[in-house]
């Protein structure tokens, strides 16, 4: 009974552009209940169904009605990055593109839903797309709806995963100018003890060049992986990933899908689909789906950090609301009591 009571009072999070559930998993680990998911890719929906079979789900955000979204404290989502990414060769379409332009559909839903907190994740290329005008459009749109907004670039390697993955996280708190600041930025500072420099000291080794593994038999791999990108299992040498596994005998291979799961902070096997549903497909085709989904995913440990800070913020705001209500009730009661002798004196 006690467990049911705790579950009932968990804050709720609705997920948009859900992918394979990076935000969803991180927020669950941070104490939230996933109330809703929206994702259009069939393979990603298959993975979401595998891990959240009972969660309400919608496929296309363009025809989604806000009235069908369960009441939730937080909305999260990373709208498609293809049109703002620096990895895109040639001119970037920005928010006018067919994919990244889906932000406007998310904003449409926000105008009606207006949850207490929103979190948006995207590539850092969003900051410079069209000389910053696209990022300005995102911020102004959220502000017009009523959100006080803050943003911060967070790198996954600082959250316990072996991957350098910088992403911009935008947090909005509805009608509260302090909310985004309290969530995104820590008030505490480090001690600031910096080791004194020494002449002729040994140069620091880049974590990208520091190798781990078995130097005799292999495999040998980098301590920190380069950022994972969506790519094909049929490696052509033109993808953006520079992370490979080597062996002392000269063999070189790419990371396996299960290794990419670990590098992204997902449990091993997270993207492994139901074998019976793909028994007639080529293994490379299945791996391609996994590589693409993982390359586009939000790193769960980063999402968990945000979730824990948002949960603390929501709890503090709830306490403020309760105290405000109590003071209002007490004040009204006091006014009523004070009015009694006044009425009596008039009758006399």
Q: Do 73 and 12 meet the contact criterion of CB atoms below 8 Å apart? A: yes
Q: Do 255 and 200 meet the contact criterion of CB atoms below 8 Å apart? A: no
* Burial of 210 from C-beta contacts in 10 A (0-12 / 13-18 / 19+): exposed
Q: Whole-angstrom Cα distance, residue 61 to residue 43?
A: 17
- Which tokens sit at 320? 């403020």
What CA–CA distances, in Å, run from 277 to 110, 232, 252, 272?
36, 20, 31, 11
Active site residues: 81
Q: Whole-angstrom Cα distance, residue 173 to residue 148?
A: 5
- Which tokens sit at 220? 């040998």
The sheet with strand 74-77 has its strands ordered as: 56-58, 33-38, 12-16, 74-77, 117-123, 166-174, 147-155
- Which tokens sit at 70? 């369960």
CA 145 vs. chain centroid, Å, equals 21
- Which tokens sit at 263? 């590098």
Q: Do 70 and 25 meet the contact criterion of CB atoms below 8 Å apart? A: no
């Amino acid at each position: 009974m006690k467990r049911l009571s705790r579950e009932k009072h968990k804050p709720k999070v609705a997920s948009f552009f859900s992918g394979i559930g990076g935000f969803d998993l991180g927020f669950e680990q941070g104490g939230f209940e996933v109330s809703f998911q929206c994702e259009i890719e069939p393979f990603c929906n298959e993975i979401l169904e595998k891990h959240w079979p009972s969660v309400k789900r919608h496929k296309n955000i363009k025809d989604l009605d806000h009235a069908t979204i369960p009441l939730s404290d937080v909305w999260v989502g990373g709208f498609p990055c293809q049109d703002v990414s620096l990895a895109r060769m040639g001119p970037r379409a920005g928010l006018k593109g067919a994919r990244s332009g889906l932000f406007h559909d998310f904003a449409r839903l926000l105008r009606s839903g207006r949850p207490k907190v929103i979190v948006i994740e995207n590539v850092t290329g969003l900051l410079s797309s069209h000389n910053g005008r696209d990022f300005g459009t995102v911020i102004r749109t959220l502000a017009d709806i009523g959100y006080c907004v803050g943003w911060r670039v967070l790198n996954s390697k600082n959250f316990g995963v072996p991957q350098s993955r910088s992403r911009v996280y935008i947090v909005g708190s509805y009608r509260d100018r302090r909310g985004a600041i309290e969530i995104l930025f820590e008030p505490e500072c480090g001690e600031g003890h910096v080791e004194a420099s020494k002449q002729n000291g040994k140069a620091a080794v880049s974590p990208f060049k520091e190798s781990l593994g078995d130097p005799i038999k292999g495999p040998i791999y980098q301590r920190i992986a380069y950022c994972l990108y969506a790519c094909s299992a049929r490696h052509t040498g033109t993808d953006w990933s520079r992370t490979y596994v080597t062996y002392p005998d000269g063999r070189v291979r790419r990371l396996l899908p299960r290794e990419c799961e670990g590098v992204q902070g997902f449990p091993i096997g997270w993207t492994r689909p139901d074998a019976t549903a793909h028994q007639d497909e080529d293994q490379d085709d299945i791996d391609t789906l996994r590589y693409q989904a993982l390359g586009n995913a939000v790193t769960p440990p980063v999402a968990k950090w945000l979730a824990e800070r948002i949960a603390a913020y929501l709890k503090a705001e709830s306490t403020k609301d309760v105290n405000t209500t109590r003071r209002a009730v007490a004040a009204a009661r006091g006014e009523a009591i004070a009015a009694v002798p006044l009425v009596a004196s008039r009758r006399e």
